[in-house]
Amino acid sequence: MNTQHNMEESLWNFIDGTISASEKIVVEKLLQTDADWKAKYGELLQVNELLQSSELEAPSLRFSKNVMEQISKLHIAPATKSYINKKVIWGIGLFFVTMIVGFLIYGIGQIDFSSGEEVSWSKNISKIDFSKIFSNTWVNAFMMINVILGLVLLDSYFTNKRKEFRKEA
C-alpha cells in the first residue's frame, strides 16, 4: 500500500515537473525497466491529460448582464485603510498604555519598601489592596469619563467620515 502510494506520488511529481533531479533519474530508469511503474504512469498520464483538456463550467448567458444591472445601483466603498486613521489607533493604544502604567505606578507606590523585611516581589504584590484601587470613587469616575469621552469622539469621527463619503458619492 505504502509502496503503491510512493509510486503514485513520485509519478505525479514526475508528471507535474516538481520532481528532484536525482529522483527523476530513478523514475526514468524504473519506467524503462518496471512494467508496474510503466502501467501506472500510463494511467496517471491519462488522468492528467483528461484534467488538462477539461474546461471551466459556464453560467447562464444573462449572468454578466445581471451582475452589471445590480452593480449599477451600487457605489464602491472607500478602501478600508483610507477610513481607518492610524492616529486613532495610536491614540487608543497610547490611552491603554497610560492607564496600565498609571495603575502600576499607583500600585507600586503602595508598597512599603522601608519595612526592612526580606520579602519576595510576589509577596509584596499580594499585599497590594486592589479593592482600594478599583472601589475608589475617583478612579471609577476617571475611568467612566474616559470611556464616555472615547465613545463620543469615536461617534463624531465616524459621523464625519459618513458625511464625507456621502458627499463623494
Partner 1 sequence: MSTGLNDNEIISKVLSGDHQAYAGLVNRYQNYVFTLTLRMVKNREDAEEVAQDVFIKAFKYLADFKGASKFTTWLYTIVSNTSISFLRKKKLDIHSLDNENVFAAAANQDSGMRANMIEQKSKLAMVNEAIGLLNPDDAQIITLFYKAEQSLEETAQILGIETNAAKVRLHRARTRLKEKMETHYVQEVRDLN
Compute and round to an integer the Cα radius of gyration of the chain: 35
By CB under 8 A, which span of 6-14, 89-97, 106-114, 148-156 interacts with partner 1?
6-14
d(C-alpha 55, C-alpha 25), whole Å: 33
Q: State the nearest-atom distance from the C-beta of 13 to partner 1, in Å.
A: 8
Q: Closer to partner 1 by CB, 16 or 117: give it.
A: 16
Residue 30 contacts residue 37 (beta carbons within 8 Å) = yes
Q: Does the protein bind partner 1 through residue 3 (CB under 8 A)?
A: no
Q: Does the protein bind partner 1 through residue 12 (CB under 8 A)?
A: yes
CB burial of 103-142 (b: ≥16 within 10 Å; e: otherwise) equals: eeeebeeeeeeeeeeeeeeeebeeeeeeeeeeeeeeeeee
Among 1, 2, 3, 18, contact with partner 1 (rule: CB under 8 A)? 18
d(C-alpha 36, C-alpha 79), whole Å: 57
Show contacts with partner 1 in window 61-120 (CB under 8 A): 63-64, 66-68, 70-72, 74, 76-80, 82
Residue ranges binding partner 1 (CB under 8 A) = 8-9, 12-13, 16, 18, 43-44, 46-48, 50-60, 63-64, 66-68, 70-72, 74, 76-80, 82
